[in-house]
Structure 1
Amino acid sequence: MLSHRQIPTFFYDAKDFNIIIKLNKEQESQFDNILQQTWKQAEEAKAFRYILNIRSSKSLKGEYRFLAQLNPERAQCRRAPESVTSMLQPFNSIGFNFTKLAQQEILFDIGNGDTNDIIAINASPLEQGHCLVLTERLKCLPQIMTEYSLYKVTELCLLSNSWSLRAIFNSLCAHASVNHLHWHLYYLKYEMLLEYIDLCSYTSNVYLLINYPAKGFCLKLSSFKNIRDFVSQTFLIVNYLQSHQVAHNVYITRAKSGLNDDLYNDIRIYIWARKPSPGIKDTTAFIPAVCELFGHLSIRDENIYNNLTEDKVSNVLNDITDEYFLSVKDKLKYFLEK
């Protein structure tokens, strides 16, 4: 429920979680309603840098069903990304950070009402409902994942009754634009290959994503007794990458058994170790951040959009993940099995 404060607070508990969802038969949960309603209100209040306008969408021909969307405003109107040169880069209180949000950018509190845990708009949206999950915001933590933030965002995914809500994380040197701890949350109403692609066994409740250009690791909620164990094992892997300064991207999605299944009865978390990308990112180029690794290509340039092919995308994804996947795979297995 929402309390009636200047910034409303959304209270929830485990009974509000939706474990199984039917495709196209969903009834929006209270969380979906409030997220979409407050997001629309922020849009009407002109809190965004532009009104979301995806000019064109297409599924690239081929086996991977990559989804390309043309969204040029995201390059032209967004805030200039921060220059990130190291995964150890400290939080900088002088530059832009999420303590400096305008009140109209904050949608609601997901903690105890002190605005430390909040959902805020992403002022440069790439899809409907695109917002930021800011946990322990007032601690001014750098963009290094915490187990608490992973747990909180997993809970938010379960609060949704929509198969299309996704959560994403870019580490430093993996196209994070702001060095202040944050996740992205957005609705993507396209059925994607990685919702059901076959995985290979690896080690206790961890799988490998092999039959795909961006090779990585995957965990499924159904493999665990509870959410806490699911999150703890996921964080073990992410924290291994963080402690070894390996750039990484993380994607959380609803999952189902196969292409023609309309029952979403699982959650998958994908983790990619990847080639670092330090410096200021070129917002007009094809940027292989977390969405792109998942197969959702947000393209800012019409010429790039018109000339995209599955082979071109596959080559880019393979180039940034293959070497790093191979370099950590055996060491990580040894670490997990100790």
Structure 2
Amino acid sequence: MATTPVRLEDIPNLQQILESRWSKLHNQPAPDTIFRYQLTIERERVTTDGEFNFLLQLNRKRTTDRRKPEITAGLQPPFDPNRFNFNRANPREVLLEVRIDDTLLTVLVNVSPLSHYHSLLVPDRERNLPQVLTAGSLNAVIRFMLSLEDRDYRIGYNSSGAMASVNHLHFHLVHVCQKLYVEDAPLTKIGSHLYRLDNQPAKAYCFVLEDQSTETGTFITRTTRLISTLLSAEIGHNLFLTWDAARTTLRVLIYPRLRLCENKQVSPFNVAGFELSGFVTLGEESDYERLDGRKLAEYFREAQGTDLYERLDSLVLKGLEGTRKRVNRN
């Protein structure tokens, strides 16, 4: 789909354009479709066995029909033009190109969708940036999200070493109608403007954006400084942007990973940003049937480490103050 870059502030109906173009492409029958499969959520349930509810969806085609994920070694590998990247995407996959401050944000359909309107947000696509979050890219995707009227949209980011399968800077935009447990989870304040999830299935540091008109810049600065601190200590991470349960305050949750994961798991699911936030897509009906909140929380602990806060709190707080130190992994 040929597009001409437009400034974000000049698109009053951004959500309508995104959804109508996505749906038009998704509904095209074979052989004209560019999707690897038509989205079919075969079964859906919310776990009710414990204090925390997880949204489970059975989407077998996501496992069987998607492009095979590639192994990405290390936390900051250089961009490799010989491997898959989003410059190789079919031009028809481009929904929009939006100029947001100094960033040109390309919005592509995800041809192996998790949800309706599942799209990829690729900042400055032709610059061939590796999968390392930057202040400009975060600014672009946050401002894009704030421009969508429907607050059931969420944005996820996985670093290399934390389930990213393409080493080309990108974020995932999904639409999920169900409330997720992280949206009304209580936050413990541990520093100036810094919170964390305590007594929750996943461990995360969190910033909140209450006043979009005055606080967005500092919200972005604090988040990128925390990410920079994790990168300096070679800590993989997932990021999740969501509105709180009241749909009034934006939360950014940063999930550190003490051990780098350089290969996608086959079963039962990949523990990445969406999963840690309570949105779990499964490819096997047996897994869909047997998994409960207790088992999911075990997978989260295995992925993140049990003593994460003890190892990282001091590092994170000092990093936000401008000093850095390396974390002890032993």
TM-score by length of 1: 0.88
Aligned length: 314
Q: 2 CA distance for matches of 1:250 and 1:283?
A: 22
Q: Paired residue for 1:259?
A: none
The AA in structure 1 aligned to 2:8 is: Y
Q: Per the alignment, in what secondary structure is the counterpart of residue 99 of structure 1?
A: helix
Q: What is the correspondence of 1:47-58 to structure 2 with a 5 Å cutoff?
A: 47-58=34-45
Q: Paired residue for 2:215?
A: 226
| Aligned partner of 1:205 among 186, 193, 214 | 193
| Aligned partner of 1:59 among 46, 67, 73 | 46
Partners of 1:68 and 1:296 within 8 A in 2? yes
Q: Deviation digits for residues 3-24 of structure 1, max 9, x if unmatched? A: xx931434333x98xxxxxxxx
Which segment is superposed worse, 208-217 or 322-331? 322-331
Identity of aligned residues (%): 28
Does 2:151 match 1:168? no
CA positional deviation for 1:88: 2.5
Runs of 4+ in 1 over 4 A off after TM superposition: none
Q: 2 CA distance for matches of 1:162 and 1:278?
A: 33
Q: Paired residue for 1:311?
A: 294
Does 2:325 match 1:337? no
Specify every segment of 5 or more residues in structure 2 that has no aligned partner in the other structure, as ranges. 323-330
Partners of 2:271 and 2:300 within 8 A in 1? yes
Which segment is superposed worse, 80-89 or 101-110? 80-89
Does 2:119 match 1:135? no
Q: Deviation digits for residues 101-128 of structure 1, max 9, x if unmatched? A: 111111110128xx95210011110011
Q: 2 CA distance for matches of 1:191 and 1:279?
A: 30
Partners of 1:273 and 1:325 within 8 A in 2? no
Q: 1 CA distance for matches of 2:203 and 2:263?
A: 25
* 1:90–1:72 Cα change, 3 Å: same
Specify every segment of 5 or more residues in structure 1 that has no aligned partner in the other structure, as ranges. 17-28, 257-262
TM-score by length of 2: 0.90
Q: What is the correspondence of 1:14-163 to structure 2 with a 5 Å cutoff?
A: 30-45=13-28, 46-61=33-48, 62-111=50-99, 116-163=104-151
What's the RMSD between the two structures over aligned residues? Answer: 2.1
* 1:266–1:308 Cα change, 3 Å: same
Q: Deviation digits for residues 270-323 of structure 1, max 9, x if unmatched? A: 001014343331344321111110011111111111100111001111222233
Q: 2 CA distance for matches of 1:315 and 1:48?
A: 34
* 1:120–1:94 Cα change, 3 Å: same
Q: 1 CA distance for matches of 2:56 and 2:258?
A: 22
Does 2:285 match 1:302? yes
Does 2:235 match 1:246? yes
Q: Per the alignment, in what secondary structure is the counterpart of residue 173 of structure 1?
A: coil
* 1:116–1:102 Cα change, 3 Å: farther
Partners of 2:75 and 2:260 within 8 A in 1? no
Q: Per the alignment, in what secondary structure is the counterpart of residue 69 of structure 1?
A: strand
